[in-house]
Amino acid sequence: MMELRASINRSFDDLYTRHARDSLDELPDSFTITDPSIPGHPIVFASPGFLKLTGYARRDVLGRSASIFQGPSTSRRAVLEIREAIREERHTQVVLLNYRKDGTPFWMLFRVSPVFSTDGGALVHFVAVQVPLQKKDGSGVRDFGFGCCRKEVCADSLPELGRVSSFEQVLHPDDVREVEREEPCEASDDEKQSAVTAMDNIFSVLTHYSEATGRLVCRKRCSIPDVGLLSTSLIISLGRIKQSFVLTNPHLPDMPIVYASDAFLNLTGYARNEVLGHNCRFLGGTDTDTSTLHLIRESIKTEQPCTVRILNYRKDKSSFWNFLHISSVRDASGKVAYFVGVQIEDSNKNDDRQCLSPEKRQLSVVGVVKVAVRSLSMTAGSSKS
Whether 244 and 196 map to the same domain: the answer is no
User: What is the distance between the alpha carbons of residues 292 and 322, in angstroms, rounded to a whole number?
Assistant: 12
So what's the pLDDT on residue 354?
54
CA distance 302 to 328: 10
Residue 131 · residue 109 · CB < 8 Å: yes
Cα–Cα separations (whole angstroms), residue 369 to 247, 309, 338? 9, 22, 10
pTM for the structure as a whole: 0.61
* 93 assigned to some structural domain: yes
**Domain end residue (candidates: 163, 185, 218):** 218
- Clarify whether residues 9 and 62 are in a common domain: yes
pLDDT of residue 264: 94
Query: Is 226 a domain residue?
Result: no
pLDDT digits (tens, 9 = 90+) for 22-64: 999 999 999 999 998 888 889 999 999 999 999 999 999 999 9
Confirm if 268 and 283 have CB atoms less than 8 A apart: yes
If DSSP codes are grouped into helix, strand and coil, which group holds residue 252?
Answer: coil
Range of the domain at 336: 232-384
Is 227 among the domain residues? no
Q: Are residues 283 and 197 in the same domain?
A: no
Does 266 lie in the same domain as 201?
no
- Where is 52: in which H helix or E strand? helix 48-54
302 and 354 share one domain? yes
Pick the most confident of 154-168, 209-223, 276-290.
Answer: 276-290
Which pLDDT tens digit goes with each residue over 201-212?
A: 999 999 999 988
Q: Is residue 224 part of a domain?
A: no
* Contacts of 292 by beta carbon, 8 Å cutoff, 6+ apart: 308, 309, 310
Residue bearing the bigger pLDDT, 1 or 291 = 291
Whether residue 155 is contained in a domain is answered as yes
At residue 87, what is the residue type? R
CATH at residue 311: 3.30.450.20
Q: What is the mean pLDDT of the chain?
A: 81
Specify whether 47 is located in the same domain as 158: yes
User: Are 81 and 191 members of one domain?
Assistant: yes
What is the structure's pLDDT at 202? Answer: 96
| Shared-domain flag, residues 162 and 271 | no
For a pLDDT cut of 70, what percent of the chain falls above it? 79
pLDDT tens, position by position, 293-307:
999 999 999 999 999
In this prediction, residue 137 carries a pLDDT of 52
Helix pair angle (76-87, 232-239), 10° resolution? 100
Q: How many domains does the chain have?
A: 2
> What per-residue confidence (pLDDT) applies to 302?
94
Find out whether 272 and 14 touch, Cβ atoms under 8 Å: yes
Report pLDDT digits (tens) over 143-187: 444 443 333 333 333 333 332 333 333 344 444 444 444 455 678
User: How confident is the model over 241-253, as a mean pLDDT?
Assistant: 91
Collapsed DSSP state (helix, strand, coil) of residue 130:
strand
Q: What is the mean pLDDT of residues 310-331?
A: 94
For 68-111, what is each residue's pLDDT tens digit?
Answer: 999 998 989 999 999 888 888 889 999 999 999 999 999 999 99
Last residue of a domain, one of 165, 190, 218: 218
* pLDDT range class, residue 222, cuts 50, 70, 90: low
Among 188, 218, 248, identify where a domain stops: 218
**Does 236 fall in a domain?**
yes
Task: For residues 19 and 85, state if they share a domain.
Answer: yes
In a domain, 188, yes or no: yes
Whether 278 and 308 share a structural domain: yes
Tens of pLDDT, residues 179-207: 444 455 678 999 999 999 999 999 999 99
Shared-domain flag, residues 203 and 303: no
Decide if pLDDT at 219 tops 60. yes
Confidence of residue 140 (pLDDT cuts 50, 70, 90): very low
Position 168 in a domain: yes
Work out whether strand 123-132 and strand 43-46 pair parallel, antiparallel, or are unpaired. unpaired
Contact 31, 50 (CB under 8 A): yes
CB 241 within 8 A of CB 340: no
Q: Where in the chain does DSSP place strands (E)? A: 31-34, 43-46, 92-99, 105-117, 123-132, 134-137, 140-143, 217-218, 245-248, 257-260, 306-313, 319-330, 336-345
| pLDDT tens digits along 225-236 | 444 467 778 888
* Residue 180 shares a structural domain with residue 268: no
